[in-house]
């Protein structure tokens, strides 16, 4: 299994985002957490809504690989025209 995606594979993955449906929005969020924030699969799986400070624009990672809490900035959503 490859350790990372090629640039072409990442672009293809990004182009596939934004489809209709609840499960597709969840998939989009998982992909964005991995691509934009560099989160590992286990870190993504352990996220809860309580970890997101919407007003502050931050995400708190608890139980990281280094056994510490990390605060990450959330990126604003991309605007579509």
Segment 49-80, tens digit of pLDDT: 899 998 999 999 987 777 788 899 987 766 55
* 31 falls within a domain: yes
Answer yes or no: is pLDDT of 8 > 90: yes
Phi and psi torsions of 60, nearest 5°: -100, 125
Structural domain boundaries enclosing 37: 7-73
Can you give the pLDDT at residue 81? 46
Residue 25 in any domain: the answer is yes
Residue 36, in any domain of the structure: yes
Q: What is the pLDDT of residue 79?
A: 55
What total number of domains does the chain contain? Answer: 1
| 80 domain residue, yes or no | no
52 within domain boundaries: yes
57 assigned to some structural domain? yes
CA angle, 8 then 39 then 45, to 5°: 115
């Amino acid at each position: 299994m490859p350790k990372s995606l090629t640039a072409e594979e990442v672009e293809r993955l990004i182009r596939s985002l934004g489809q209709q449906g609840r499960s597709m929005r969840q998939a989009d969020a998982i992909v964005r957490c991995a691509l934009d924030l560099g989160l590992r699969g286990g870190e993504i799986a352990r996220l809860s809504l309580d970890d997101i400070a919407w007003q502050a624009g931050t995400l708190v990672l608890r139980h990281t690989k280094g056994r510490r809490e990390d605060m990450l900035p959330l990126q604003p959503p991309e605007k579509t025209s």
